[in-house]
Amino acid sequence: MEREYLLKNGRRLYYSAERCRFWLDTRPQWPEAEYMATELYSLRIEISHACNGYCRYCIVFGNHVQDLGRLDMPAVWAWLNEQEWFAKIRDIFLIGGEPMLFFDDILFIADHFSGKISFSTNGTLITAENARALKERGVFVYLSLDGPDREDNVNRVYRDGRPMYDDILRGLEHLEAAGTDKGIFMVSTPQTAGRIASVMEALSHRYRILKFGYSLPHWTENESGIVTPEQYRDALCAIYENRRRIDATVLQIKWRTGCLSAGRAKRFSCALHTVQTTLLPDRSIVRCAKIDHDPVLREVGNRALDDGCPLAQARDAGSRCAGCVALGSCGGGCPYDGLRRFGTIIDRRECVITPPVVELAIRDVVRHFENDAAAPAGLVPAETVRQIIG
């Protein structure tokens, strides 16, 4: 899919959706498409699904995930080091349940692994002492918080229904005091979607936040009160428009506009059968805990995931993806949500969410070249686009 824009200064700008590239003035001679990496480099470890919390939108509890026990970390580590593929792993992400229930295991990994380590936590078990231990080892912490105020976090509760809010903030303060590198994971809710950009801005000015995650909830059996794709789209557009005031990277914006900044197309949103693999508490290796533990969905093979992605779908010129401005930036969203909600590999909520965000990024590129008469004709360097989009 190619677009042509006649700029106010008389120049022409072309955009190739499948390549995520721009071209100025002359008829484009597009280079071969380049793609985001798909080689394995990341390991996600679920030590245990045990948690001291009971957050209302949690996919673990919402889907009655069976208890798979707990990894014996020293034994697992010895086993991992015997696996050929493990030598490729440069990045480990720990998730639960609540990984801080197994703090010794986090330290064990940090003391035995030379790559990057990060984990997500509800923050309630972080003390001054363990914040310092994480800082010393360069571990990156993603703390879950839906906004700076108590009412933003009504879904984050303990098993007995008590709010976690005060304990989360105390954990955040300990991380801040220790100088631990940190991000905040937020789940999009109807309550906060309309003001999320100002919420992120406020948090990023109050604390040293390097990254924000702003998730669209995965499918669960009870979806009452879930954010709509339209609300989420509007939230992402507001975040994009305010990105220079938010002093942190917002991962969900980066995933959608990063392909334009990199000049590389993205085949898949989800890393499940490409750059990432997952180790579960029962020591099984899966692509995705949700898909591979479902008796029906586990039969969906990698070939189907390949063939179901937007760039493959677009080989049919009449398909919706073939004419989409977000073709090379989309990746199709979460296949689990796609299969549950639409019976396809693609989560069709992306069709509401991603094109408008990409349109905003293209608008900024158009505006830039309307004010840059001296820019050379031909293929626009990806670095130039990166500086424009940020």
CA distance 65 to 321: 34
Q: Does 330 bind ligand SF4 (CB under 6 A)?
A: yes
C-alpha angle 244-260-146 in degrees, rounded to nearest 5: 45
Q: Edge-to-edge, what's the strand order for the sheet holding 211-215? A: 249-250, 211-215, 182-187, 140-144, 116-121, 91-95, 42-46, 276-279, 285-286
Query: Residues 6 or more apart from 381 whose CB is under 8 A from it?
Result: 263
- Name the minimum Å distance from CB 327 to ligand SF4: 5
Among 76, 168, 187, 346, indicate the residue that binds ligand SF4 (CB under 6 A): 346
Q: Which of 19, 49, 267, 290 binds ligand SF4 (CB under 6 A)?
A: 290
Give the one residue of 95, 351, 360, 382 binding ligand SF4; rule: CB under 6 A.
Answer: 351
CB of 292 to ligand SF4, least distance (A): 9
3-state DSSP helix/strand/coil % of the chain, to nearest 5: 40, 15, 45
Q: What is the CA radius of gyration of the chain?
A: 22
User: How many residues of this chain bind ligand SF4 (CB under 6 A)?
Assistant: 22
Cβ proximity to ligand SF4: between 21 and 290 the closer is 290
326 binds ligand SF4 (CB under 6 A): yes
Q: Hey, which residues between 237 and 276 contact ligand SF4 (CB under 6 A)?
A: 270, 272
Among 7, 51, 327, 360, binds ligand SF4 (CB under 6 A): 327
Report, in Å, the least distance between residue 95 CB and ligand SF4.
Answer: 10
Helix (H) or strand (E) holding 61: helix 59-62
Stretch of 4-12, 48-56, 320-328, 359-367 contacting ligand SF4, by CB under 6 A: 320-328
Q: Residue 380, Cβ neighbours under 10 Å: how many?
A: 22
Is 55 among the residues that bind ligand SF4 (CB under 6 A)?
no
CA-CA distance, 115 to 91, in Å (whole number)? 6
Structure letter (DSSP) for residue 233: H
What is the closest distance, in whole angstroms, from the C-beta atom of residue 337 to ligand SF4 in the complex? 6
Min dist. Cβ of residue 323 to ligand SF4 (A): 8
Burial label for 280, CB within 10 Å (0-12, 13-18, 19+), is: buried
Task: Determine, following the binding rule CB under 6 A, whether residue 334 of this chain makes contact with ligand SF4.
Answer: yes
Per DSSP, the three-state class of 109 is: helix
Least distance in angstroms from the C-beta of 119 to ligand SF4: 16
9/222 with CB nearer ligand SF4: 222
Nearest approach in angstroms of CB 333 to ligand SF4 is 7
B/e letters for 354-363, b = 16+ CB within 10 Å, e = fewer, are bbbbbebbbe
From residue 389, alpha-carbon distances to 26, 149, 357, 366 in Å are 23, 30, 11, 11
Q: Which residues between 185 and 244 bind ligand SF4 (CB under 6 A)?
A: 218
Identified binder of ligand SF4 from the candidate list 291, 361, 362, 385, rule CB under 6 A: 291
- Is residue 310 within the footprint of ligand SF4 (CB under 6 A)? yes
Residue span binding ligand SF4 (CB under 6 A) among the ranges 123-131, 147-155, 321-329, 361-369: 321-329
Question: Are 169 and 124 spatial neighbours (Cβ–Cβ below 8 Å)?
Answer: no
Give the interface with ligand SF4 as residue ranges (CB under 6 A): 218, 270, 272, 288, 290-291, 310, 320-321, 324, 326-327, 330, 332, 334-336, 346, 350-351, 354-355
